[in-house]
Chains A and B, each alone.
Chain A
Amino acid sequence: MKKFEPTVIAFSCMFCAGCEPVAAKPEKSMKAAQLKVIRLHCLGKINSMHVLKAFENGADAVLVAGGACRFMEGLAVAQKQIEYTRKLLEELGIEPQRLELVPVNQAEGKTFNEAVEGIIKRVRALGPNPLMKAKKAA
C-alpha cells in the first residue's frame, strides 16, 4: 500500500509568508507531501467558504499563514473565520486539527516551514481526508 502523503493547501498572505514558503531549505518530509500555496493579497479576504471548498475538494489539511498584518486587522479577522470554520468541521465529523492558522514572519522562512512540518506530522497520524475514505467505502 502506498504511503500516505498528505496534501496540504496553504493560504498565505503575499507579504507575510508568501514569498519564501519553500525557500529556507524545504524539509525532506515537505518535499514528499504535496504542499500547494494559494496567495491572497491579505488574509482578511479568507472566508469559511474557501476553506470548506478546499476540504470538499479533498485536501487533507489546510494551513492559513500570516504575520504582522500589513493592513492591521487582516490576521485577526482571519483568526475568527478559522475558529468558526473549525467548529463547522467538527459538526461534520472532520477533525478540526486539520485546519490551522499559524502566525509567521516573512523574515523567518523557517517558521513557515515549521508550521507546515507540524501540520504534516499531525495529519499523517490522522490519515487522509475522511471524505476520501468514505469514497472508497461506498
Chain B
Amino acid sequence: MVPKIEHGKKITAAVLVAGAGIAGMQAALDLAEAGFKVYLVENEEPGRKRSAKGGAAARGFLCSISSKLLAVQLNNNIELIEKARIEGIDGVAGNFRVLLGSAAPSSVKDKAAATKKNAAEKLRSIAAGAVIFAPGFNSLAASSGYDFQAELQAHAEKHGFSIAGTTMITEKERLPLATSRPGIFAAGGSGAPAVRDALIQGSCAAALAAELLSPARGALVREKKYPAEMSVAADEPSIGIFICRHMLSVKKAAEGIIAGAQKMNAAVHVEALPELCSLASLKRVQEAIEEQGLNRVVAVTCNPEAHAPLYQEALAEAGLNRYLLEMPDRVSAGHALDVLRMAVARTRKLEPLKEVTSDVVQSGLVIGSGVSALTAALSLANQGFEIYLVEQGPSDGSDAARSLQKKVAGQNKIILFSHALITSFAGHPGSYVTTITVNGAAEVLKHGIVIIETGQARDTLAALLKIPVAADGSYVQPSALQPLDLACGGMFACGNGDVSNSIIQGLAAAARAATILAKRELVLSSIVAVVDPERCVACLTCVRECPYHAPAISEERVSFIEPAECRGCGICVSACPRRAIELKHCTDEQILAELAACMDVRS
C-alpha cells in the first residue's frame, strides 16, 4: 500500500526519476502531465549511441526512444539532468533530499577530463517527494544482455531499500514496483525489456508516486507559455522542407532530391538534417523558421505518426500554428521527389486552425470487477478523483480481489454500482455522459475518462462506447507507444494475466487517465468538420450520418457541429449534398492539389 503522508506534513510535489530509459521517460511524462515537476536523471547522454544497425527491430526501438525523448525535452515541467547519478537519498516519503553527483565517465578521454573537474565539482541537492528508479537502456549497444535486476539491486543496496519485485500479493501486501523504503519505487526491473512492458511499468510507477503526492498536485508545475502566433493569412506560402539524413543514404541521390525540392513552387528552404527526431535538429528547424521567415513546414522522418505531435509543439514554440505542418510518409530515395512534390502541393493549401478544447469533468468511469479495475479505481480515488466503478458482471471472488473490494468499500471517493448495465453513452474525451441501469433505476454519470477492464462484454460495450475493435477482437490502439490507450481517446484498457500484472496494468491505466483528469481543460484535435451556415439548407443528411451524433440543427436553423464532439472522420463532409461542410486539414482543395501534383497535371 502506498503510504499516506501525515496531514499537515510538507509534501514536495516533485518526483525524481533515475534513468531516462523507456520506463523512466514514460513515468516522467505521465507525472508531468498530471501536475508534478519531474527531475529525470540519466547517467549517460540519452540517445547517445544511435547506430541503426540491427534492421527493422532496431529502427523501431530507436523510434520509440527518440519520440519519447523529444517529448521529455519539450516538456517544460521535466528537467533532464544528464551525466549525473544519485549519491544519496535523505529524508522521508513526501520530503526527500536527493544528492546528485556527476556520473562516472564512460571513456578514457572523458575520465581524463573528469578528473580535472572533480575537485571543483559540487554535488547538487534536489527536493523531491518521491523517487523512481527506472534503470533502462537508451542506447542500443547496451540493450542486449542488459541486466536490470542487477542494476536495480545495486541502487537498492546503495540507498538502503529492498526491491519488492513483481511477486504475487501475499498477506503482507507487497505491491509491485514499491520498495521497502516508502516513497521510493522501482520500474523496468521486471527483467522483460520489451518496450510495451517498460512503458506500462513506467506509468505504473507514476501512479504510485502520484498517489503519494496528490494533495500537493500542481504546486510546482508551470503552464508552458508560447509566443504569440504569427498571422500567416495574408502571406504567400513560404515552405521549409527538412529531410532526415537517414533516408538519403546515397549521397548522389540525396543531392538530386534536395536540388529537386528547391525548385518546387513556394519551397523557400530545403535542408537535410541528421536525425530529424532529435532536439538539435528540431531547434535547427525553429532557427530556420525565424531566419527564413517560413510560414509552413514539411518534415520528413521515419515515423511521422510518432513525431508529428512533437513537431507541432516545435512549431508552436516558434510562433507558428501547429497545423501548418506536413509530415508525409517515409520516403525511399526512389520516390522521394514524388512524395515531396505532393507534400508541397498540399502544404501550400494548409491553413492555421483554431484550437479545440474541452472542459474536463474531473471524475472517472471504471468498468470492470476484477483486480485490475479495482486497482485502477482505487489509485485514481487515492489521487483525489471521484470514481464511478461499474461492475456489469459478477464480482471477482479471488483473494486478491476481495482484499481490494474491502478497500473500495472504505474509499468514499468511489461510488460502486454492482450488477449494473450501461445503457447509453455520449460525449468526448474530457466530458462524457453515461447512463446505467441498476436495480431497475437509471443513473446518469458525468465523467472525464473511461477505464475498461479487458474481458468485459466486448462487442456490446465496444459498440456502445464507440471503441474501434480490430479483426482479431482486440481494442485498437492509437500507437504502440501508448499500449493502454484506446484509439478513441480519453479511454484506457487494463487487465489480464496474473494478479501482479493486473495490478501493474490497473495502476498504469490510472496514471494515463490522470494525465487528463489533472487538467481543467483538454486540448483536442483541430481536425474537425465545420459547416458553412451560408450553404447549409438543413437537409439533415449530416445529422443522420454522423456516428457520434455531433451535428445538430441550431437556433439559426442550420447545422452546427460542436468541435469538441467531432472526431474528424469526414463522413458528413462526403455526404453533404451542398458541400457545405469542410474537414479542416483534410479539405477537398488539399486533396485535389495532391492529386494534381502526383500526376503532374497543370490544374
Please list the residues of chain A having a beta carbon within 8 angstroms of any beta carbon in chain B.
7, 9, 14-15, 18-24, 26, 31, 34-42, 44-47, 49-50, 53-54, 57-59, 67-74, 77, 81, 103, 105
How far is B339's CA from A34's CA once the two chains are assembled, in angstroms?
Answer: 11
How far is B335's CA from A46's CA once the two chains are assembled, in angstroms?
Answer: 24
Q: Mark B47-76, 1 if CB is under 8 A from A, else 0.
A: 000000000100000000000000000000
Chain A positions within 8 Å of B574 at CB level: 44-47, 77, 81
**Chain A residue at minimum C-beta to C-beta distance from B476:** A68
Q: Which of B330, B332, B338, B599 contacts A59 (CB 8 A)?
A: B599
Q: Does B567 contact A (CB under 8 A)?
A: yes
Q: A53–B595 contact, CB under 8 A?
A: yes
Can you list 18 residue pairs at the A/B interface with Cβ under 8 Å?
Answer: A15-B487, A18-B329, A19-B304, A21-B329, A26-B332, A35-B335, A36-B339, A37-B339, A42-B569, A44-B571, A45-B571, A49-B588, A54-B595, A70-B488, A71-B569, A73-B569, A74-B569, A74-B571
Chain A positions within 8 Å of B222 at CB level: none
Known: A38-B598, A40-B570, A57-B599. A68 touches B591 (CB 8 A): no
Q: Mark B545-573, 1 if CB is under 8 A from A, else 0.
A: 10100000000000000000001111101
Apart from A70-B468, A77-B575: 10 A-B pairs, beta carbons within 8 A = A41-B569, A42-B569, A42-B570, A46-B574, A57-B595, A68-B468, A68-B469, A72-B466, A73-B547, A105-B471
**Chain A residue at minimum C-beta to C-beta distance from B570:** A45
Give, as a whole number of angstroms, the nearest-CB distance from A42 to chain B.
4
Secondary structure class of chain A's binding surface, majority of residues: loop
Q: Mark B324-366, 1 if CB is under 8 A from A, else 0.
A: 0000111010110011001000000000000000000000000
Q: A105–B599 contact, CB under 8 A?
A: no
Chain A positions within 8 Å of B567 at CB level: 42, 71
Q: A67–B470 contact, CB under 8 A?
A: yes
For the complex of A and B, the 5 pairs showing the least CB-CB separation, nearest first, are A45-B570, A71-B569, A44-B571, A57-B599, A44-B569
How far is B450's CA from A37's CA once the two chains are assembled, in angstroms?
Answer: 35
Chain B positions within 8 Å of A42 at CB level: 567-571
Q: A41–B570 contact, CB under 8 A?
A: yes
Q: Which of A19, A44, A53, A77 contacts B592 (CB 8 A)?
A: A53
Q: Does B596 contact A (CB under 8 A)?
A: yes
How far is B572's CA from A42's CA once the two chains are assembled, in angstroms?
Answer: 12
Q: B466–A40 contact, CB under 8 A?
A: no
**Chain B residue at minimum C-beta to C-beta distance from A12:** B329
Q: A7–B599 contact, CB under 8 A?
A: yes
Chain A positions within 8 Å of B339 at CB level: 36-37
Chain A positions within 8 Å of B545 at CB level: 77
Q: A68–B470 contact, CB under 8 A?
A: yes
Q: A70–B476 contact, CB under 8 A?
A: yes
Q: B591–A50 contact, CB under 8 A?
A: yes
Among B305, B488, B574, B575, max chain A CB count under 10 A is at B574
Q: Does B414 contact A (CB under 8 A)?
A: no
Chain B positions within 8 Å of A21 at CB level: 329
Q: A71–B468 contact, CB under 8 A?
A: yes
Q: A45–B329 contact, CB under 8 A?
A: no
Q: Which of A9, A72, A73, A105 contacts B595 (CB 8 A)?
A: A9
How far is B570's CA from A41's CA once the two chains are assembled, in angstroms?
Answer: 8
**Chain A residue at minimum C-beta to C-beta distance from B59:** A23
Q: A22–B329 contact, CB under 8 A?
A: yes
Chain A positions within 8 Å of B588 at CB level: 49-50
How far is B598's CA from A7's CA once the two chains are assembled, in angstroms?
Answer: 10
Among A9, A26, A54, A70, max chain B CB count under 10 A is at A70
Q: Which of B305, B334, B469, B591 contacts A31 (CB 8 A)?
A: B334
Chain A positions within 8 Å of B488 at CB level: 70
Q: B329–A39 contact, CB under 8 A?
A: yes
How far is B598's CA from A68's CA once the two chains are assembled, in angstroms?
Answer: 27
Known: A72-B468, A81-B574. A38 touches B335 (CB 8 A): no
How far is B160's CA from A20's CA once the two chains are assembled, in angstroms?
Answer: 47
Chain B positions within 8 Å of A67 at CB level: 470-471
Q: B595–A50 contact, CB under 8 A?
A: yes
List residues of B (532-556) whose CB comes within 8 Å of A's CBs.
545, 547
